[in-house]
Chain A
Protein backbone atom coordinates (compact mmCIF):
# COMPACT_ATOMS: atom_id res chain seq x y z
CA UNK A 1 0.00 0.00 0.00
CA UNK A 2 1.52 3.35 -1.00
CA UNK A 3 1.41 6.37 1.24
CA UNK A 4 -0.04 9.55 -0.20
CA UNK A 5 1.28 13.05 0.46
CA UNK A 6 -1.64 14.03 2.62
CA UNK A 7 -1.28 10.90 4.71
CA UNK A 8 2.41 11.67 5.30
CA UNK A 9 1.84 15.34 6.12
CA UNK A 10 -1.47 14.97 7.88
CA UNK A 11 -3.11 17.63 5.67
CA UNK A 12 -6.55 16.76 4.29
CA UNK A 13 -6.54 15.97 0.56
CA UNK A 14 -7.90 18.68 -1.76
CA UNK A 15 -11.39 17.64 -2.84
CA UNK A 16 -11.91 16.95 -6.52
CA UNK A 17 -15.48 18.22 -6.30
CA UNK A 18 -17.05 20.80 -4.04
CA UNK A 19 -20.80 21.29 -4.00
CA UNK A 20 -21.92 24.42 -2.21
CA UNK A 21 -25.51 25.36 -1.37
CA UNK A 22 -26.92 23.55 -4.41
CA UNK A 23 -30.61 24.09 -5.16
CA UNK A 24 -32.77 22.45 -7.82
CA UNK A 25 -36.36 23.40 -8.49
CA UNK A 26 -38.65 21.58 -10.90
CA UNK A 27 -41.90 23.44 -11.44
CA UNK A 28 -43.26 24.05 -7.97
CA UNK A 29 -41.05 21.43 -6.28
CA UNK A 30 -37.88 22.37 -4.42
CA UNK A 31 -35.93 19.11 -4.87
CA UNK A 32 -32.48 20.10 -3.57
CA UNK A 33 -32.49 22.62 -0.74
CA UNK A 34 -28.95 23.82 -0.22
CA UNK A 35 -26.90 20.66 -0.62
CA UNK A 36 -23.23 21.09 0.30
CA UNK A 37 -20.51 18.44 0.41
CA UNK A 38 -17.08 17.65 -0.96
CA UNK A 39 -15.80 14.59 -2.81
CA UNK A 40 -12.21 13.60 -1.96
CA UNK A 41 -9.75 13.21 -4.83
CA UNK A 42 -9.41 9.50 -4.19
CA UNK A 43 -11.68 6.56 -3.48
CA UNK A 44 -15.43 6.15 -3.55
CA UNK A 45 -17.86 8.60 -1.97
CA UNK A 46 -21.32 7.12 -1.61
CA UNK A 47 -24.33 9.39 -1.84
CA UNK A 48 -27.04 7.68 0.19
CA UNK A 49 -30.60 8.26 1.28
CA UNK A 50 -34.12 6.93 0.97
CA UNK A 51 -35.93 6.89 -2.37
CA UNK A 52 -36.84 10.32 -3.68
CA UNK A 53 -34.55 12.40 -1.46
CA UNK A 54 -32.68 13.90 -4.42
CA UNK A 55 -29.64 11.64 -4.99
CA UNK A 56 -30.09 11.29 -8.77
CA UNK A 57 -31.02 14.96 -9.01
CA UNK A 58 -27.77 15.84 -7.22
CA UNK A 59 -25.71 13.97 -9.82
CA UNK A 60 -27.68 15.56 -12.67
CA UNK A 61 -27.29 19.01 -11.14
CA UNK A 62 -23.53 18.55 -10.78
CA UNK A 63 -23.31 17.64 -14.46
CA UNK A 64 -25.67 20.42 -15.52
CA UNK A 65 -28.51 18.16 -16.62
CA UNK A 66 -30.84 19.64 -14.00
CA UNK A 67 -31.53 23.39 -13.60
CA UNK A 68 -29.40 24.45 -10.66
CA UNK A 69 -28.35 27.36 -8.52
CA UNK A 70 -25.44 27.33 -6.11
CA UNK A 71 -21.81 26.43 -6.52
CA UNK A 72 -20.13 23.42 -8.08
CA UNK A 73 -16.34 23.40 -8.34
CA UNK A 74 -14.24 20.75 -10.09
CA UNK A 75 -10.70 20.69 -8.81
CA UNK A 76 -11.10 24.33 -7.76
CA UNK A 77 -12.68 25.51 -11.05
CA UNK A 78 -16.21 26.89 -10.89
CA UNK A 79 -18.16 24.77 -13.40
CA UNK A 80 -21.63 26.18 -12.84
CA UNK A 81 -21.55 28.07 -16.15
CA UNK A 82 -20.10 25.16 -18.13
CA UNK A 83 -22.25 23.23 -20.58
CA UNK A 84 -22.84 19.53 -19.97
CA UNK A 85 -20.55 18.75 -22.90
CA UNK A 86 -17.71 20.84 -21.50
CA UNK A 87 -18.09 19.39 -18.00
CA UNK A 88 -17.82 15.86 -19.40
CA UNK A 89 -14.90 16.78 -21.65
CA UNK A 90 -13.11 18.33 -18.69
CA UNK A 91 -13.19 14.94 -17.02
CA UNK A 92 -16.52 14.25 -15.34
CA UNK A 93 -17.82 10.87 -16.50
CA UNK A 94 -21.48 10.02 -15.97
CA UNK A 95 -23.09 6.60 -15.71
CA UNK A 96 -26.84 7.22 -15.44
CA UNK A 97 -29.47 5.29 -13.58
CA UNK A 98 -31.00 2.61 -15.85
CA UNK A 99 -27.82 2.58 -18.01
CA UNK A 100 -29.35 4.44 -20.95
CA UNK A 101 -27.27 2.61 -23.53
CA UNK A 102 -28.29 3.21 -27.14
CA UNK A 103 -30.32 0.08 -27.84
CA UNK A 104 -30.31 0.46 -31.63
CA UNK A 105 -26.53 0.72 -31.76
CA UNK A 106 -24.14 -2.19 -31.42
CA UNK A 107 -21.89 -2.55 -28.39
CA UNK A 108 -18.96 -1.36 -30.50
CA UNK A 109 -20.90 1.67 -31.75
CA UNK A 110 -21.94 2.57 -28.20
CA UNK A 111 -18.28 2.58 -27.24
CA UNK A 112 -17.02 4.37 -30.38
CA UNK A 113 -19.46 7.15 -29.69
CA UNK A 114 -17.14 8.13 -26.86
CA UNK A 115 -13.90 6.45 -27.89
CA UNK A 116 -13.85 7.70 -31.49
CA UNK A 117 -11.34 5.45 -33.20
CA UNK A 118 -11.44 2.87 -30.44
CA UNK A 119 -14.42 0.90 -29.25
CA UNK A 120 -14.62 -2.69 -28.09
CA UNK A 121 -10.95 -3.06 -29.07
CA UNK A 122 -9.80 -0.61 -26.39
CA UNK A 123 -7.45 -2.18 -23.81
CA UNK A 124 -9.60 -1.02 -20.90
CA UNK A 125 -12.59 -2.88 -22.37
CA UNK A 126 -10.60 -6.09 -22.85
CA UNK A 127 -9.23 -5.79 -19.31
CA UNK A 128 -12.40 -4.97 -17.40
CA UNK A 129 -15.21 -6.19 -19.65
CA UNK A 130 -13.95 -9.13 -21.74
CA UNK A 131 -17.52 -10.29 -22.39
CA UNK A 132 -18.20 -7.10 -24.35
CA UNK A 133 -15.38 -7.83 -26.78
CA UNK A 134 -17.19 -11.01 -27.85
CA UNK A 135 -20.48 -9.15 -28.10
CA UNK A 136 -19.13 -6.15 -29.99
CA UNK A 137 -21.45 -6.63 -32.97
CA UNK A 138 -24.56 -7.26 -30.84
CA UNK A 139 -27.22 -4.56 -30.56
CA UNK A 140 -26.99 -3.08 -27.06
CA UNK A 141 -30.76 -3.25 -26.72
CA UNK A 142 -30.62 -7.05 -26.82
CA UNK A 143 -28.11 -7.33 -23.94
CA UNK A 144 -29.06 -8.33 -20.41
CA UNK A 145 -29.27 -5.66 -17.72
CA UNK A 146 -25.84 -6.60 -16.39
CA UNK A 147 -24.25 -6.48 -19.82
CA UNK A 148 -25.85 -3.11 -20.51
CA UNK A 149 -24.41 -1.87 -17.22
CA UNK A 150 -20.98 -2.99 -18.40
CA UNK A 151 -21.45 -1.03 -21.65
CA UNK A 152 -22.53 2.05 -19.68
CA UNK A 153 -19.44 1.78 -17.48
CA UNK A 154 -17.06 0.91 -20.31
CA UNK A 155 -18.04 3.87 -22.47
CA UNK A 156 -17.21 6.44 -19.78
CA UNK A 157 -13.90 4.75 -19.11
CA UNK A 158 -12.84 5.45 -22.70
CA UNK A 159 -12.26 9.06 -21.63
CA UNK A 160 -9.70 10.28 -19.13
CA UNK A 161 -11.85 11.04 -16.12
CA UNK A 162 -11.05 13.20 -13.14
CA UNK A 163 -14.29 12.15 -11.46
CA UNK A 164 -17.00 9.59 -12.15
CA UNK A 165 -20.66 10.10 -11.26
CA UNK A 166 -22.24 6.66 -11.08
CA UNK A 167 -25.96 6.31 -10.42
CA UNK A 168 -27.26 3.03 -8.98
CA UNK A 169 -25.09 0.72 -11.06
CA UNK A 170 -26.34 -2.43 -9.33
CA UNK A 171 -30.04 -1.64 -9.55
CA UNK A 172 -32.01 -4.64 -10.75
CA UNK A 173 -28.98 -6.89 -11.18
CA UNK A 174 -28.62 -10.50 -10.02
CA UNK A 175 -26.37 -10.96 -6.96
CA UNK A 176 -23.50 -12.40 -9.02
CA UNK A 177 -23.58 -9.40 -11.33
CA UNK A 178 -23.75 -7.03 -8.36
CA UNK A 179 -20.45 -8.49 -7.20
CA UNK A 180 -18.94 -8.13 -10.67
CA UNK A 181 -20.02 -4.50 -10.96
CA UNK A 182 -18.71 -3.74 -7.47
CA UNK A 183 -15.36 -5.35 -8.42
CA UNK A 184 -15.15 -3.16 -11.50
CA UNK A 185 -15.98 -0.01 -9.55
CA UNK A 186 -13.36 -0.85 -6.95
CA UNK A 187 -10.75 -1.21 -9.70
CA UNK A 188 -11.86 1.96 -11.46
CA UNK A 189 -11.67 3.89 -8.19
CA UNK A 190 -7.95 3.15 -8.09
CA UNK A 191 -7.51 5.59 -10.99
CA UNK A 192 -10.43 8.04 -10.65
CA UNK A 193 -12.55 9.07 -7.68
CA UNK A 194 -16.20 8.04 -7.82
CA UNK A 195 -19.32 9.74 -6.49
CA UNK A 196 -21.65 6.76 -6.25
CA UNK A 197 -25.39 6.70 -5.70
CA UNK A 198 -26.13 3.23 -4.39
CA UNK A 199 -29.00 1.59 -2.51
CA UNK A 200 -27.20 -1.69 -1.99
CA UNK A 201 -25.53 -1.23 1.40
CA UNK A 202 -23.25 -4.27 1.24
CA UNK A 203 -21.76 -2.75 -1.93
CA UNK A 204 -21.36 0.57 -0.12
CA UNK A 205 -19.76 -1.17 2.84
CA UNK A 206 -17.37 -2.94 0.49
CA UNK A 207 -16.14 -0.14 -1.74
CA UNK A 208 -17.06 3.26 -0.25
CA UNK A 209 -14.60 5.30 1.79
CA UNK A 210 -16.85 8.25 2.56
CA UNK A 211 -20.60 8.70 2.73
CA UNK A 212 -22.92 11.64 2.29
CA UNK A 213 -26.52 11.08 3.33
CA UNK A 214 -29.40 13.12 1.94
CA UNK A 215 -32.86 13.51 3.35
CA UNK A 216 -35.58 15.71 1.87
CA UNK A 217 -33.13 17.49 -0.38
CA UNK A 218 -30.59 18.29 2.34
CA UNK A 219 -27.39 16.71 3.61
CA UNK A 220 -28.06 15.13 7.00
CA UNK A 221 -24.84 13.19 7.50
CA UNK A 222 -21.25 13.14 6.24
CA UNK A 223 -18.38 10.96 7.33
CA UNK A 224 -16.37 7.81 6.84
CA UNK A 225 -18.37 4.93 5.38
CA UNK A 226 -17.02 2.54 7.99
CA UNK A 227 -18.42 4.65 10.79
CA UNK A 228 -21.95 4.69 9.39
CA UNK A 229 -21.94 1.03 8.45
CA UNK A 230 -20.75 0.07 11.91
CA UNK A 231 -23.64 1.85 13.56
CA UNK A 232 -26.89 -0.06 12.90
CA UNK A 233 -29.01 2.49 14.76
CA UNK A 234 -27.64 5.39 12.75
CA UNK A 235 -28.03 3.42 9.51
CA UNK A 236 -31.62 2.63 10.39
CA UNK A 237 -32.30 6.22 11.35
CA UNK A 238 -30.74 7.77 8.25
CA UNK A 239 -31.54 5.20 5.62
CA UNK A 240 -34.50 3.35 7.07
CA UNK A 241 -32.82 -0.04 6.58
CA UNK A 242 -31.03 -2.54 8.72
CA UNK A 243 -27.49 -3.49 7.72
CA UNK A 244 -28.09 -7.05 8.97
CA UNK A 245 -31.13 -7.44 6.75
CA UNK A 246 -29.24 -5.93 3.80
CA UNK A 247 -26.33 -8.27 4.35
CA UNK A 248 -28.61 -11.32 4.29
CA UNK A 249 -30.10 -10.29 0.92
Chain B
Protein backbone atom coordinates (compact mmCIF):
# COMPACT_ATOMS: atom_id res chain seq x y z
CA UNK B 1 0.00 0.00 0.00
CA UNK B 2 2.78 2.42 0.96
CA UNK B 3 4.46 1.66 -2.37
CA UNK B 4 1.31 2.63 -4.25
CA UNK B 5 0.95 5.85 -2.25
CA UNK B 6 4.58 6.72 -2.88
CA UNK B 7 4.30 5.98 -6.59
CA UNK B 8 1.07 7.92 -7.00
CA UNK B 9 2.29 11.00 -5.13
CA UNK B 10 5.68 11.05 -6.84
CA UNK B 11 3.94 10.40 -10.17
CA UNK B 12 1.64 13.35 -9.48
CA UNK B 13 4.69 15.43 -8.61
CA UNK B 14 6.33 14.52 -11.89
CA UNK B 15 3.07 15.22 -13.73
CA UNK B 16 2.92 18.60 -12.00
CA UNK B 17 6.37 19.46 -13.36
CA UNK B 18 5.28 18.38 -16.82
CA UNK B 19 2.19 20.55 -16.53
CA UNK B 20 4.28 23.57 -15.55
CA UNK B 21 6.48 22.98 -18.58
CA UNK B 22 3.62 22.21 -20.99
CA UNK B 23 0.92 24.74 -20.05
CA UNK B 24 2.65 27.70 -21.68
CA UNK B 25 3.50 25.63 -24.72
CA UNK B 26 -0.14 24.63 -25.07
CA UNK B 27 -1.48 28.17 -24.67
CA UNK B 28 1.04 29.55 -27.16
CA UNK B 29 0.23 26.89 -29.73
CA UNK B 30 -3.51 27.12 -29.13
CA UNK B 31 -3.74 30.85 -29.66
CA UNK B 32 -0.93 31.56 -32.05
CA UNK B 33 -0.22 28.30 -33.84
CA UNK B 34 3.44 28.67 -32.88
CA UNK B 35 5.35 25.48 -32.07
CA UNK B 36 7.80 27.07 -29.67
CA UNK B 37 10.94 24.95 -29.62
CA UNK B 38 12.61 27.73 -27.62
CA UNK B 39 10.41 26.84 -24.63
CA UNK B 40 13.24 24.69 -23.27
CA UNK B 41 15.51 27.75 -23.41
CA UNK B 42 12.93 29.65 -21.32
CA UNK B 43 13.17 26.85 -18.75
CA UNK B 44 16.96 27.00 -18.71
CA UNK B 45 16.78 30.79 -18.32
CA UNK B 46 14.43 30.41 -15.35
CA UNK B 47 16.59 27.71 -13.79
CA UNK B 48 19.81 29.69 -14.11
CA UNK B 49 18.17 32.95 -13.00
CA UNK B 50 16.95 31.12 -9.89
CA UNK B 51 20.30 29.47 -9.26
CA UNK B 52 22.18 32.78 -9.66
CA UNK B 53 19.72 34.45 -7.30
CA UNK B 54 20.14 31.69 -4.72
CA UNK B 55 23.92 31.98 -5.00
CA UNK B 56 24.00 35.78 -5.07
CA UNK B 57 21.75 36.57 -2.11
CA UNK B 58 23.39 36.76 1.33
CA UNK B 59 23.47 33.45 3.19
CA UNK B 60 22.04 35.26 6.21
CA UNK B 61 18.68 35.44 4.43
CA UNK B 62 18.19 31.70 4.94
CA UNK B 63 17.66 29.10 2.23
CA UNK B 64 13.86 29.28 2.35
CA UNK B 65 13.69 33.02 1.77
CA UNK B 66 16.35 32.87 -0.93
CA UNK B 67 14.42 30.06 -2.65
CA UNK B 68 11.21 32.11 -2.53
CA UNK B 69 12.99 35.10 -4.11
CA UNK B 70 14.64 32.79 -6.64
CA UNK B 71 11.24 31.44 -7.68
CA UNK B 72 9.93 34.99 -8.18
CA UNK B 73 13.03 35.90 -10.21
CA UNK B 74 12.75 32.73 -12.34
CA UNK B 75 9.11 33.56 -13.13
CA UNK B 76 9.95 37.19 -13.94
CA UNK B 77 12.93 36.30 -16.14
CA UNK B 78 10.89 33.66 -17.98
CA UNK B 79 8.08 36.18 -18.58
CA UNK B 80 10.49 38.86 -19.79
CA UNK B 81 12.30 36.51 -22.15
CA UNK B 82 9.01 35.17 -23.48
CA UNK B 83 7.78 38.71 -24.14
CA UNK B 84 11.00 39.81 -25.86
CA UNK B 85 11.19 36.66 -28.01
CA UNK B 86 7.61 37.20 -29.17
CA UNK B 87 8.12 40.85 -30.04
CA UNK B 88 11.54 40.51 -31.67
CA UNK B 89 11.58 37.06 -33.28
CA UNK B 90 8.08 35.64 -33.56
CA UNK B 91 6.01 38.68 -34.49
CA UNK B 92 7.67 39.19 -37.89
CA UNK B 93 7.08 35.52 -38.69
CA UNK B 94 3.39 34.97 -37.97
CA UNK B 95 1.78 32.43 -40.30
CA UNK B 96 5.25 31.43 -41.55
CA UNK B 97 5.45 28.18 -39.64
CA UNK B 98 8.64 26.74 -41.09
CA UNK B 99 10.56 29.93 -40.36
CA UNK B 100 9.12 29.96 -36.83
CA UNK B 101 10.35 26.42 -36.23
CA UNK B 102 13.79 27.31 -37.60
CA UNK B 103 14.04 30.44 -35.45
CA UNK B 104 12.86 28.78 -32.23
CA UNK B 105 15.07 25.71 -32.76
CA UNK B 106 18.00 28.03 -33.51
CA UNK B 107 17.26 30.08 -30.41
CA UNK B 108 17.15 26.99 -28.19
CA UNK B 109 20.50 25.79 -29.55
CA UNK B 110 22.06 29.24 -29.20
CA UNK B 111 20.73 29.65 -25.66
CA UNK B 112 22.19 26.32 -24.54
CA UNK B 113 25.53 27.19 -26.17
CA UNK B 114 25.51 30.61 -24.50
CA UNK B 115 24.80 29.10 -21.07
CA UNK B 116 27.54 26.51 -21.59
CA UNK B 117 29.93 29.25 -22.71
CA UNK B 118 29.25 31.44 -19.69
CA UNK B 119 28.67 28.94 -16.84
CA UNK B 120 30.17 25.75 -18.27
CA UNK B 121 28.63 22.45 -19.37
CA UNK B 122 28.49 20.88 -15.91
CA UNK B 123 25.44 20.86 -13.72
CA UNK B 124 25.48 23.28 -10.78
CA UNK B 125 24.13 22.02 -7.44
CA UNK B 126 21.02 23.84 -6.28
CA UNK B 127 20.66 24.49 -2.60
CA UNK B 128 17.32 23.46 -1.12
CA UNK B 129 15.60 24.37 2.13
CA UNK B 130 15.83 21.53 4.64
CA UNK B 131 12.12 20.85 4.48
CA UNK B 132 12.24 20.38 0.72
CA UNK B 133 15.11 17.93 1.00
CA UNK B 134 13.32 15.76 3.58
CA UNK B 135 10.28 13.48 3.44
CA UNK B 136 6.81 13.29 4.94
CA UNK B 137 5.13 10.10 6.11
CA UNK B 138 1.94 9.57 4.14
CA UNK B 139 0.05 6.33 4.84
CA UNK B 140 3.35 4.64 5.59
CA UNK B 141 5.15 6.01 2.55
CA UNK B 142 8.05 8.42 2.90
CA UNK B 143 7.16 11.00 0.23
CA UNK B 144 9.84 13.56 -0.77
CA UNK B 145 8.52 16.98 0.22
CA UNK B 146 9.55 18.66 -3.04
CA UNK B 147 6.77 16.68 -4.78
CA UNK B 148 4.22 18.56 -2.66
CA UNK B 149 5.80 21.83 -3.80
CA UNK B 150 5.51 20.78 -7.46
CA UNK B 151 1.90 19.72 -7.01
CA UNK B 152 1.01 22.94 -5.17
CA UNK B 153 2.71 25.06 -7.85
CA UNK B 154 0.90 23.21 -10.65
CA UNK B 155 -2.49 23.46 -8.92
CA UNK B 156 -1.89 27.15 -8.30
CA UNK B 157 -0.87 27.79 -11.92
CA UNK B 158 -3.76 25.72 -13.29
CA UNK B 159 -6.26 27.61 -11.10
CA UNK B 160 -4.73 30.97 -11.99
CA UNK B 161 -4.82 30.21 -15.71
CA UNK B 162 -8.41 28.95 -15.51
CA UNK B 163 -9.40 32.11 -13.64
CA UNK B 164 -7.59 34.21 -16.22
CA UNK B 165 -9.31 32.40 -19.09
CA UNK B 166 -12.81 32.46 -17.63
CA UNK B 167 -13.05 35.64 -15.56
CA UNK B 168 -11.03 38.26 -17.43
CA UNK B 169 -11.35 40.05 -20.74
CA UNK B 170 -7.87 38.88 -21.74
CA UNK B 171 -9.00 35.31 -21.13
CA UNK B 172 -12.11 35.86 -23.24
CA UNK B 173 -9.96 37.11 -26.11
CA UNK B 174 -7.58 34.16 -25.71
CA UNK B 175 -10.43 31.62 -25.75
CA UNK B 176 -11.97 33.28 -28.80
CA UNK B 177 -8.55 33.51 -30.46
CA UNK B 178 -7.89 29.81 -29.93
CA UNK B 179 -11.15 29.11 -31.83
CA UNK B 180 -10.76 31.65 -34.64
CA UNK B 181 -7.96 34.19 -34.51
CA UNK B 182 -8.89 35.87 -37.80
CA UNK B 183 -12.44 36.52 -36.63
CA UNK B 184 -11.19 38.07 -33.40
CA UNK B 185 -9.18 40.54 -35.48
CA UNK B 186 -12.19 41.11 -37.73
CA UNK B 187 -14.09 42.23 -34.63
CA UNK B 188 -11.54 45.00 -34.06
CA UNK B 189 -9.61 43.33 -31.25
CA UNK B 190 -5.84 43.72 -31.13
CA UNK B 191 -4.78 40.08 -31.08
CA UNK B 192 -1.12 41.08 -31.39
CA UNK B 193 -1.08 42.47 -27.85
CA UNK B 194 -2.71 39.29 -26.59
CA UNK B 195 0.02 37.23 -28.30
CA UNK B 196 2.71 39.12 -26.38
CA UNK B 197 0.93 38.58 -23.07
CA UNK B 198 0.39 34.88 -23.77
CA UNK B 199 4.06 34.45 -24.65
CA UNK B 200 5.00 36.22 -21.40
CA UNK B 201 2.65 33.93 -19.43
CA UNK B 202 4.11 30.88 -21.17
CA UNK B 203 7.62 32.13 -20.44
CA UNK B 204 6.76 32.68 -16.77
CA UNK B 205 5.40 29.13 -16.43
CA UNK B 206 8.50 27.79 -18.20
CA UNK B 207 10.77 29.79 -15.90
CA UNK B 208 9.03 28.30 -12.87
CA UNK B 209 9.20 24.81 -14.42
CA UNK B 210 12.92 25.32 -15.05
CA UNK B 211 13.75 26.21 -11.47
CA UNK B 212 11.50 23.53 -9.98
CA UNK B 213 13.06 21.08 -12.44
CA UNK B 214 16.35 22.09 -10.85
CA UNK B 215 14.88 21.40 -7.40
CA UNK B 216 13.78 17.95 -8.66
CA UNK B 217 17.26 17.17 -10.03
CA UNK B 218 19.08 18.97 -7.18
CA UNK B 219 20.98 20.94 -9.82
CA UNK B 220 20.60 23.16 -12.86
CA UNK B 221 22.23 22.29 -16.16
CA UNK B 222 22.25 23.72 -19.69
CA UNK B 223 20.57 20.61 -21.12
CA UNK B 224 17.70 20.31 -18.64
CA UNK B 225 15.37 22.37 -20.82
CA UNK B 226 15.71 20.06 -23.81
CA UNK B 227 14.91 16.98 -21.73
CA UNK B 228 11.83 18.61 -20.18
CA UNK B 229 10.70 19.99 -23.53
CA UNK B 230 10.32 16.51 -25.03
CA UNK B 231 7.92 15.50 -22.26
CA UNK B 232 6.15 18.83 -22.47
CA UNK B 233 5.48 18.30 -26.19
CA UNK B 234 4.22 14.77 -25.52
CA UNK B 235 1.87 16.10 -22.83
CA UNK B 236 0.58 18.88 -25.09
CA UNK B 237 -0.10 16.48 -27.96
CA UNK B 238 -1.84 13.91 -25.73
CA UNK B 239 -3.91 16.65 -24.07
CA UNK B 240 -5.01 18.16 -27.38
CA UNK B 241 -2.93 21.14 -28.45
CA UNK B 242 -4.44 24.33 -27.10
CA UNK B 243 -6.51 22.71 -24.33
CA UNK B 244 -5.39 23.69 -20.84
CA UNK B 245 -7.53 21.11 -19.06
CA UNK B 246 -6.42 18.46 -21.55
CA UNK B 247 -2.82 19.42 -20.83
CA UNK B 248 -3.39 19.05 -17.07
CA UNK B 249 -5.01 15.61 -17.46
CA UNK B 250 -2.30 14.46 -19.88
CA UNK B 251 0.48 15.69 -17.58
CA UNK B 252 -0.92 13.69 -14.67
CA UNK B 253 -1.37 10.61 -16.90
CA UNK B 254 2.18 10.82 -18.25
CA UNK B 255 3.67 11.33 -14.78
CA UNK B 256 1.76 8.38 -13.31
CA UNK B 257 2.40 6.03 -16.24
CA UNK B 258 6.10 6.83 -16.21
CA UNK B 259 6.44 6.33 -12.48
CA UNK B 260 4.36 3.14 -12.29
CA UNK B 261 6.06 1.56 -15.33
CA UNK B 262 9.50 2.34 -13.98
CA UNK B 263 8.63 0.63 -10.71
CA UNK B 264 6.54 -2.35 -11.81
CA UNK B 265 8.38 -3.17 -15.07
CA UNK B 266 11.99 -2.05 -15.09
CA UNK B 267 13.89 1.19 -14.81
CA UNK B 268 13.70 2.97 -18.15
CA UNK B 269 10.43 1.34 -19.21
CA UNK B 270 8.66 4.47 -18.01
CA UNK B 271 9.97 6.51 -20.94
CA UNK B 272 8.95 3.78 -23.38
CA UNK B 273 5.48 3.66 -21.81
CA UNK B 274 5.05 7.39 -22.30
CA UNK B 275 5.92 7.08 -25.98
CA UNK B 276 3.50 4.16 -26.30
CA UNK B 277 0.80 6.25 -24.61
CA UNK B 278 1.45 9.00 -27.14
CA UNK B 279 1.22 6.51 -30.02
CA UNK B 280 -2.07 5.09 -28.71
CA UNK B 281 -3.57 8.57 -28.30
CA UNK B 282 -2.52 9.56 -31.82
CA UNK B 283 -3.95 6.35 -33.27
CA UNK B 284 -7.26 6.68 -31.43
CA UNK B 285 -7.52 10.48 -31.70
CA UNK B 286 -5.31 11.75 -34.54
CA UNK B 287 -6.88 15.23 -34.25
CA UNK B 288 -4.79 15.72 -31.08
CA UNK B 289 -1.90 16.68 -33.28
CA UNK B 290 -3.87 19.44 -34.98
CA UNK B 291 -5.44 21.07 -31.95
CA UNK B 292 -7.14 24.36 -32.66
CA UNK B 293 -5.27 24.84 -35.93
Contact = CB atoms under 8 A, between A and B. Distances in A.
B134 interface: no
Interface stretch (B61-69, B185-193, B220-228): B185-193
A88 B179 contact: no
Which 9 A-B pairs give the minimum distances between C-beta atoms?
A88-B188, A89-B188, A100-B183, A102-B176, A84-B185, A102-B179, A94-B186, A114-B187, A85-B190
B172 A109 contact: yes
Interface of A: 63, 65, 84-85, 88-89, 94, 96, 100, 102-105, 109, 112-114, 116, 155-156, 159
A84 B186 contact: yes
Chain B contact residues: helix, strand, loop or mixed = helix
Contacts of B184: 113
A96 B172 contact: no
Contacts, number: 52
A108 to B, nearest CB: 10
B121 interface: no
Given A65-B186, A155-B187, 12 more contacts: A65-B182, A84-B185, A84-B186, A88-B188, A102-B183, A103-B179, A105-B172, A105-B175, A112-B169, A113-B172, A113-B176, A114-B188
User: In this complex, which of B184, B185, B186, B191 has the most chain A Cβ atoms within 10 angstroms of its Cβ?
Assistant: B186
Interface in B170-211: 172-173, 175-176, 179-180, 182-191
A112 B172 CA distance: 9
A104 B188 contact: no
B180 A102 contact: yes
Contacts of A63: 186
B175 A96 contact: no
B157 to A, nearest CB: 22
B183 A85 contact: no
A68 to B, nearest CB: 15
15 contacts: A63-B186, A65-B182, A65-B185, A85-B185, A88-B188, A94-B187, A96-B183, A100-B180, A102-B175, A102-B183, A105-B175, A109-B172, A112-B169, A113-B184, A159-B188
A8 to B, nearest CB: 35
A88 B188 CA distance: 5
A159 B187 CA distance: 9
B176 to A, nearest CB: 5
A89 B179 CA distance: 21
Contacts of B175: 102, 104-105, 109
A233 B140 CA distance: 90
A113 B184 CA distance: 8
Contacts of A113: 172-173, 176, 184, 187, 189
Contact of A116 (B169, B180, B183, B186): B169
Contacts of B173: 113
A94 B189 CA distance: 13
Nearest to A159: B188
Contacts of A109: 172, 175-176
User: In this complex, which of B173, B180, B185, B189 has the most chain A Cβ atoms within 10 angstroms of its Cβ?
Assistant: B185
A100 to B, nearest CB: 5
A109 B187 CA distance: 13
Contacts of A103: 179
A100 B190 CA distance: 18
Nearest to B178: A104
A85 B189 contact: yes
A88 B169 contact: no
User: In this complex, which of B169, B183, B184 has the most chain A Cβ atoms within 10 angstroms of its Cβ?
Assistant: B183
B187 to A, nearest CB: 5
Contacts of B190: 85
Nearest to B176: A102
A159 B186 CA distance: 13
User: In this complex, which of B173, B179, B182 has the most chain A Cβ atoms within 10 angstroms of its Cβ?
Assistant: B179
A63 B186 CA distance: 8
A65 B184 CA distance: 12
A105 B171 CA distance: 11
Contacts of A156: 187
